[in-house]
A and B are shown apart, each in its own frame.
Chain A
Amino acid sequence: MKMRSHFKTFRCCGSCHLRRSTSPLARGAPGIQRRRHPDYVDFKMTSKIFFTLLFLLLTSCTYRLERDARELVMHLAAEPATLNLLTYSDHYGAQVLGNIYERLIDVDAKTLTFTPKLATHWEISADGKTITFFLRENIRWHDGFPFTADDVIFTFERILDPAVDAPRLRQQYLDVEKLEKINDYTIQFHYKRPYFGAFFTAGALPVLPKHVFKAGENFNAHEIGRSPIGTGPYRFVSWEKGRSLRLVRHEEYWDHKPQIKGIVFNIIPNGTVAFQFLKKGGLDLFELSPMQWEKQSSSHSFQERFRKYHYFPPNFSFIAWNMRRPLFADKRVRQAMTMLLDRSSIIEKQLGGLGKIVTGSAYPLSKDYDTSIEPLPYNPERAIALLREAGFDDHDGDGLLDREGVVFEFTYLYPNNSNFGKKIGLLLQRQLQNVGIRMHLEQLEWATLLSRMQKRDFDALSLSWIPPLQADPFQLWHSSQADRGSNISGFRHAEVDRLLEEGRTLFDEDERAKRYQKVHRLLYEEQPVLFLFQMPTLAAVSKRFENVQAYPLGLKPREWTIESTAMLKAW
């Protein structure tokens, strides 16, 4: 950089721009060549260019796209780890794969009964141990190969193969003695023991196309995990990692073809962002949170573009008490806990009137649920009396309940992503404080919570349970499940054990329901867990779609029709 004589001043660059405009140089006096200061940056010019570019960027259409209104754009809260039908283990994989693959039987959304799918009909032997499925002929995989019994057998063998990373599935089929191929379109399951749930499990067997696998290949890393091939109404098209998945209607689909031409799943981890994306027109179908349902979706512009639906699929939330701990060994204490939590006001004030109080683990719409059981009332006086009966009182006058010198104090665990668990915990904490019980809250990340749960290392634990449609309460409440199974409270009750064992072998629905209703009543008396609520699923659907029905098990986009087919803005 060279020094220039006419800029020999201390305040040059802060003001030379101004000064120049009054100098003969800037006016372009004749004979004087315009010379620039070497450090001079023409800010005016730069900003002009910048704003022109910005303007162009914001207005030009070269970078904008449109999307097809005949496609349904949905939301996934996380990316599925894999689309391998056997090794996937998340809810997100299930959402995508449900459109691509089909099972032997299906559940009718309206009547909740089993309907034929890949199997046209079935037979169950008198002893209940043999189940025969007759498969539909003339079904082809998306790549044109015919579907036969070999595909079913192949898939079953893979599930049992320890080298296949499918522990979740394998557990379900441990009781199958063998799966036999009778002919190309008939298969037979042989169970070791009669079990009413066997039919549902057998019919829900996933089926993979055998022909795409070569012998000796690594199954877990197979290409099918990234580009699945099924028999369902939609065909896999593409998977942009971390961004979106795209399916398109299979034009040669054997059954009734849906009107929606394609399904796009957008992966958006943050719920607030996903809701914004819905509002700006990026999504057609979205699951709302109670807050979004109640407060953030009532504006005129929202109502104009979306319809809201809600339905009650099988689920319930609860607080499990660790009955192995002396604090919760007494059923009076557990009953008192329930009576200290004002569940009706929680529904009203915290959950926006959504949610129903449940008294048991069965699906309230099923026969196994005894609707005559009244939930325990909110009654702190009676709760205190019960606690006194159980020996808890403020003996030393420090304001806290104690028994034999031990203060009533425990820790409540909840998963760190559960707003609900936190809310309930804070409310319970306040209620318990009033009667002199000290409750600590601890939030844990899921993997840690799971390992604490499996080690039974907790006092109280907040969880939600999503049982399958045909639920077997055995694993939740039988004493054999107390040490290592899903009976996390450690509930042991001889009568309940007997009823549960009986129930498993009964194939008559009503006979079974009798036993399970008894179990329900005993459970509510014993309160091994604090039964909370059944929460509805809340959904917003674009008004572009017609014929949208909310069934107990959910929405069925396959039935929807499309109102408008004008192209839409893509974001």
Chain B
Amino acid sequence: MMKQYVLKRFFLLLPTFLGITGLTFFMLQLAPGDPAALKAQSFTELLADPQQTEAVVTETQKLYGLEKPLSLQYLLWLKRIVLFDFGESYRDHRPVMAKIAEALPITLLLNALTLLVIFVIAFPLGAYNALKPNSFHDRVSALFLFLLYSLPSFWFALLLIVLFAGGDYLNLFPLIGIFSDGAERLPWYGRIGNLLWHLILPVIVLSVANIAFLSRFVRASLVEVMKKEYIRTAYAKGLSPFQVMVKHAFKNALLPLVTLFGSLLPALLSGSVIVEQIFSIPGMGRLSFESVLARDYPVIMGITVMTATLMLISYFVTDIVYGFLDPRLRLHERRGL
């Protein structure tokens, strides 16, 4: 039974993948703007007449392979993807994969640290608030968290920079990149220190809104579970609230969180455009943003494929894990529901 369920989910992946990449491909090409014209735009003096200039643009389109009909372009692209050939960027003619391989580790590191911070703060906070729902403490922290949640990250990042990293007030943190210039001269522990020093502000900006969101989520989920009868039974056994929470409440309260984990992996890799732009971090967010502006189709498609694949895999895994964790789901499957 389980096997059928897994297989069914698995075979749904392929059409979804084609759908995502196909849509992205056609939307990209149909959006106004042409990479060849962008590159050829010239504000210098020309003796040549416009016809000749246009011939140059056409040559460049051919160089990029843009002269063929769209559907054919998509099929050719698919064929290359199957062979793991993602092509080369229009901007600098480097392999797309090399560009992604440069940006990915940076985003990965930044987001992994952020996630860590989010979980370490949000879970205890949510649980603590769930202990006494609607108490004064719960209300104050709710207010505070909503405040944090609604801070525009752009504004918050600039505020942090001006206060803690600018030349005017406190000048404690660096504000660009993830290493100081010349950090390769430092010993390994110095390099780690230098890296962490650079990541403090970006991680704060990235985690603030999510801490607010996740801790409220955990709290809501826990409060729901804490009303259940088996919790009362646990208390009756003489367990402390802490033990009740950890041993009995959490397990059930975390079930809805599994869905949340499904979107975690893609989020880990996609990067934040705003934070990466502000802190000059050359990660995935900035790469996608710049590629879109330059209409660098191969790079955008490469990123799409990667994100789509990871998203599909993580949803697939989530579905299956869900099935394992919650026997009720499997039962439904068996009944054909």
Residues of A within 8 A of B (CB): 1, 3, 7-14, 39, 57-58, 60, 62-65, 67, 78-79, 81-82, 84, 87, 89, 162-163, 165, 167-168, 170-172, 174-175, 193, 195, 197-198, 200-201, 218, 220-221, 225, 240-244, 246, 264, 266-270, 272-273, 276-282, 299, 301, 445-448, 450-452, 454, 465-468, 470-472, 474-475, 480-481, 483-486, 504, 570-571
Contact = CB atoms under 8 A, between A and B. Distances in A.
Given A171-B42, A450-B37, A280 B102 contact: no
A39 B246 contact: yes
B56 A167 contact: yes
A273 B47 contact: no
Given A266-B176, A446-B293, A448-B31, 9 more contacts: A82-B93, A174-B52, A195-B47, A218-B93, A268-B280, A269-B278, A445-B33, A475-B45, A484-B53
Contact of A171 (B46, B90, B283, B286): B46
B6 to A, nearest CB: 34
Given A168-B42, A279-B168, A174 B48 contact: yes
B193 A447 contact: no
B17 to A, nearest CB: 27
24 contacts: A7-B240, A57-B197, A60-B193, A63-B186, A65-B194, A81-B92, A82-B91, A167-B36, A167-B60, A168-B39, A174-B53, A200-B45, A225-B93, A242-B280, A243-B282, A246-B181, A267-B282, A273-B278, A280-B166, A280-B171, A447-B32, A447-B295, A486-B43, A570-B181
Contacts of A471: 45
Contact of B239 (A3, A57, A87, A167): A3
Contact of A9 (B240, B279, B281): B240
Given A65-B185, A484-B50, A467 B175 contact: no
Contacts of A8: 238
B136 to A, nearest CB: 15
Interface string B34-64: 1011111111111111111110110110110
A335 B187 CA distance: 68
Interface stretch (B157-165, B213-221, B327-335): B157-165
Choose among B52, B54, B242 the residue with the greatest number of A CB atoms under 10 Å from its CB. Answer: B242
Contacts of A483: 50
B260 interface: no
B53 to A, nearest CB: 5
B262 interface: no
A216 B7 CA distance: 49
B282 A241 contact: yes
Nearest to A457: B32
A81 B63 contact: no
Nearest to B242: A13
Contacts of B283: 242
Interface of B: 31-34, 36-54, 56-57, 59-60, 62-63, 88, 90-94, 102-103, 158, 161-162, 165-168, 171-172, 174-183, 185-187, 189-194, 196-197, 235, 238-243, 246-247, 277-283, 286, 290, 293-295
Nearest to A452: B32
Given A270-B278, A450-B37, A465-B43, A243 B179 contact: yes
A244 B44 CA distance: 29
Nearest to B179: A243
A260 B42 CA distance: 33
Contacts of B168: 276, 279, 299
A172 B44 contact: yes
Contacts of B51: 484
Contacts of B178: 243
B63 A163 contact: yes
A270 B280 contact: yes
A486 B48 CA distance: 12
B94 A198 contact: no
Given A10-B240, A81-B91, A447-B293, A175 B175 contact: no
Contact of A273 (B44, B53, B279): B279
A313 B195 CA distance: 40
Contact of B41 (A87, A450, A468, A475): A450
A451 B185 CA distance: 47
A172 to B, nearest CB: 6
A468 B63 contact: no
Nearest to A305: B167
Contacts of A475: 45-46
A242 B41 contact: no
Contacts of A81: 91-92, 294
A381 to B, nearest CB: 38
Contact of B175 (A12, A273, A485): A273
Contacts of A447: 32-34, 38, 293-295
A167 B40 contact: yes
- Name which of A58, A63, A163, A470 has the most chain B CB atoms within 10 A of its CB: A63
A54 B278 CA distance: 24
B281 A242 contact: yes
Nearest to B49: A480
A57 B193 contact: yes
A446 B162 CA distance: 29
A280 B190 contact: no
Contacts of A486: 43
Contacts of A280: 165-167, 171, 175
A448 B295 CA distance: 10
B286 A220 contact: no
Contacts of B62: 162
Contacts of B293: 445-447
Contacts of B47: 174-175, 193, 195, 197-198, 504
A455 B27 CA distance: 20
A172 B181 contact: no
A360 B336 CA distance: 77
A571 B39 contact: no
Kindly name the residue among A79, A170, A264, A447 whose own CB sees the greatest number of chain B CB atoms within 10 A. Answer: A447
Contacts of A63: 180, 186, 190-194, 196-197
Nearest to A471: B45
Contact of A270 (B53, B185, B192, B277): B277
Interface-central residue, A82, A163, A269, by most chain B CB under 10 Å? A269
B190 A276 contact: no
Contacts of B90: 165
Contacts of B194: 63-65
A237 to B, nearest CB: 11
Contacts of B180: 63-65, 570-571
B176 A221 contact: no
A446 B41 CA distance: 12
A65 B186 contact: yes
Closest 8 CB pairs of A and B: A242-B282, A279-B167, A447-B33, A63-B193, A167-B40, A484-B50, A81-B91, A280-B167
Contact of B57 (A167, A198, A200): A167
B166 to A, nearest CB: 4
A289 B48 CA distance: 36
Contacts of A172: 42, 44-46
B88 A268 contact: no
Nearest to B31: A448
B290 A87 contact: no
A75 to B, nearest CB: 10
B190 to A, nearest CB: 4
Contacts of B183: 65
Given A450-B33, A475-B45, A3 B197 contact: no
Contacts of A466: 43
Nearest to A464: B43
A174 B183 CA distance: 47
Contacts of A12: 240-242
